Structure 1
Amino acid sequence: MGRARCRAGQPRGQFQPQRREALRGPVRRPGKGLHLTCLLWAGVQMGRGVVSLLAFAAILVAGDRANSAGAVAEGIAPGGVIRGYAFAISANDPNGDAAGASALGACKKGPERLASGSMPDNNFAKARARCKVVSTFSNKCAAVALDPKDGTPGAGWAVGDTQNQADDEALARCRSTAGANRGDFCKVTNRKCDGTAK
């Protein structure tokens, strides 16, 4: 067994001894003076490095999602939901404070149109002014359900381990506040999952 002598910037100590018989004799690249052994070993090491970098990147992404946070912000106008209701859900923020700030900012800004399709009025502005963070969560899902007709009291939000669980709870809360004649009109209007939840 002999040790391949590698040149042209190849680091020392990284190349394993190879049997010449395994390579069918020393093969040199024309004009370079490098053994095929060196080239093969360098390729193996580069491949391992790429695989290691990809694995490390996957771990960082998974760890980042596992450490993420979400929040729900809600605003109710004076006189109740029937007078005006604002909400927002934030997910995959770096921590609870960031999630709360994101949800609160979105709640205060409000949508350009309401669930009914109409433009927000003065009561909706009063609801936005009263927005506050009502829940923070990590690796869970959140949902908001509303009766889309303006001037109705049906509204509810929920956080659950899965999106289906959050949707079902939000719908149940909306139906419980909508009244007997409007409960069936409740529908989930906003939903998000945080981190690894689905």
Structure 2
Amino acid sequence: MYRINTDAQELELCRRLYKLHFQLLLLFQAYCKLINQVNTIKNEAEVINMSEELAQLESILKEAESASENEEIDISKAAQTTIETAIHSLIETLKNKEFISAAAQVKAFRSLWPSDIFGSCEDDPVQTLLHIYFHHQTLGQTGSFAVIGSNLDMSEANYKLMELNLEIRESLRMVQSYQLLAQAKPMGNMVSTGF
């Protein structure tokens, strides 16, 4: 009687181990699919750092904003019809490197549309222009960022981010090599228990 009970327990243990084996196999396959998806996204999506471009533009705009304080600039009536035309006018002015005019336009558009995209009178016009320019340049894109207005040395943060990026890439390579090993192993190596 004791031997029959032990055999039944061993049989039940074998069944459970067999189920566990296949559940782990399914989990591993799902994990490999996830890694493939992450790898695909990693290769497709490029991160664009616009910090340097906007930092240069910021210094130019600060000088232009100081110069625009004493100048009166005539803004066309067409640019003042809607917010969209005003934004388009600002973008064209920035593209044409008419920075003094751009700073003056922001101030004029604030009086037409207070507390809208052009900000309020208390807001810095340079920051407003940078925001509008960045938004226009990255329209429809993902993965763009900019860090501006910081006097801190970003080299340490940049170094740590690069280290982290390298570690993630190495981890992805290791997981991919395990995935290739798992795919190369034939299923015939499993022990059959006759269930």
Superposition TM-score tier, normalisation by shorter sequence: 0.3 to 0.5
Which is bigger in relative contact order (C-alpha 8 A, separation at least 6)? 2
**TM-score with structure 1 setting the length:** 0.32
Q: Give 1 or 2: higher strand fraction.
A: 1
